[in-house]
Amino acid sequence: MLYSSLNYLSKSESFKEAVIKGIAPDKGLYYPHEIKPLSKVIIKNLNNLSIHDIAYESIKQFIGDSIPKNKLKSIIQETLNFDFPLIKVDENNFSLELFHGPTLAFKDVGARFMARCLGFFNENYKEKITVLVATSGDTGGAVADGFYNVPGVKVVILYPKGKVSAIQEKQMTTLGGNITALEVGGVFDDCQDMVKKAFIDTQINKKIRLTSANSINVARWLPQMFYYFAGYQKASKYKLPVNFSVPSGNFGNLCAGLIAQKLGLPINHFLACTNINDSVPRYLKSGIYDPNPSVQTISNAMDVGNPSNFIRVQKVFNNDIHKLKKQVSGYSFNDNETKKCIKNIYENNKYILDPHGAIGYLGLKKFSKTNPNQIGIFLGTAHPCKFSEVVEKTIKQKIEMPKKLSKILEGEKKSIKIADYSQLKEYLLEN
């Protein structure tokens, strides 16, 4: 399988090269040359297959010769070592809880898969690969945990000082080993800008091999399709059309669902749900893509003004907005609506939503008004305790913290403070 850059100015690459490069030299995102549907037999027998078998069947064409069959199978086994429960929230709507991995974020799936691929590709190299990543919170923890102790790979995470939650900070700063956290005096955009600068800095690139671990990397993006199969499998017993509602920021998650559908998973419809950073829902209404600068909200993992994977979403439909609109509806909700929803669902349905999942649920409620008698699945992208400040205040109730998180809170924070790009550069060149 070859990947081409969506800017079409760089040469096509294998999965391996696309993963190692992260982004094409022309700054385009990599996209697979072709997507062949799974055989009808597999789709018909979905319920008899394990999630590991489905994952293997669905991703093997995207890996091609880059990873041998048995190695790929073991990478999948290790990646998917936790479950994705489908929890009934109301009559027809369900939460697909993706937050039972080590850092309680759906990003664990992509990060664990990518870490193992990169570890394999780098086995025989003498030279280390450095994964450089900027985070507003959840990516940092998932990447740190996923890449911890992967031989030959060093991870450098930039996060904005004082702008991530206590849990998120501990997840990035307590592991040590091959994981380094740089605490940046600034906001997320400053971290992101520094990372972008480093990627095009010739002095740095002459000396070290850098790659990214954001959802622009195909090894983080594609495995996210696995849990759409898992959710569909669990919902199929209701014998009704199944819709997926995806709380979206950079749109990697939604785009992975679209790939699952292209492979033949009979998903009826997608809901692209955002907070007030609504560039994509506005586009779906007006046909004009006019991204705004990002605005801070309580669902902060989705505070993205110009989603990096939007170009892939368009590509899935050959850049035909009419086809896109047939499959995907857009909704956006503000913080007040989100809080009200968290409160209502807690009081009436005894289910605790996090602010991101709540936006997915709100989308389903709106959609089902004109589309009754269908199953709605929203992706539960993070455990509510990761956003406990907002959620506890809203439901006026303490949230129980899972044991694996309480343990992380006991670790000692170690970070290096940096103020500007020259300090990042110095760090990268000297370490």
Ligand X SMILES: *Cc1c(COP(=O)(O)O)cnc(C)c1O
Residues that bind ligand X (CB under 6 A): 105, 107, 138, 215, 247-253, 301-302, 356, 381-382
Contact 362, 333 (CB under 8 A): yes
Listed in sequence order, the DSSP H helices in 45-153 are 51-63, 69-79, 107-121, 138-147
Nearest distance from residue 48's CB to ligand X, in Å? 30
H or E, element range at 32: strand 30-32
Task: Compute the distance between CA of residue 377 and CA of residue 278 in angstroms, rounded to an integer.
Answer: 21
Kindly state the tokens that stand for 281: 């829902």
Beta carbon of residue 354, minimum distance to ligand X (angstroms, whole number): 7
Q: Give me the least distance between CB of 216 and ligand X, in Å please.
A: 10
Nearest to residue 272, comparing CAs of 285, 261, 263, 281?
281
> In the complex with ligand X, which residue's Cβ is closer, 118 or 302?
302
Cα–Cα distance measured from residue 274 to residue 299, given in angstroms and rounded to the nearest whole number: 9
At closest approach, how far in Å is the CB of 18 from ligand X? 18
- Catalytic residue of the set 11, 44, 60, 107: 107
Whichever of 4 and 224 has its CB closer to ligand X, that residue is 224
Longest dimension (CA), the chain: 61
Q: Which is nearer to ligand X, 13 or 138 (CB)?
A: 138
107 is catalytic: yes
Q: Torsion angle, CA of 281/287/292/298, rounded to 10 degrees? A: 0
Place of tokens 């006019």: 290
Q: How far apart are CA 244 and CA 96, in angstroms?
A: 9
User: Which residue, 10 or 300, is less far from ligand X as judged by CB?
Assistant: 300
CB of 426 to ligand X, least distance (A): 30
Q: Given the complex with ligand X, which of 204 and 382 has the nearer CB atom?
A: 382
Whichever of 174 and 250 has its CB closer to ligand X, that residue is: 250
| Residue showing tokens 């095009």 | 200
CA distances from 104 to 78, 101, 212, 355, 404 (A): 16, 5, 21, 14, 9
Classify residue 371 as exposed, middle or buried by CB count within 10 Å of its CB (0-12, 13-18, 19+): middle
CB of 183 to ligand X, least distance (A): 20
Q: Which sequence positions are flagged as catalytic?
A: 107
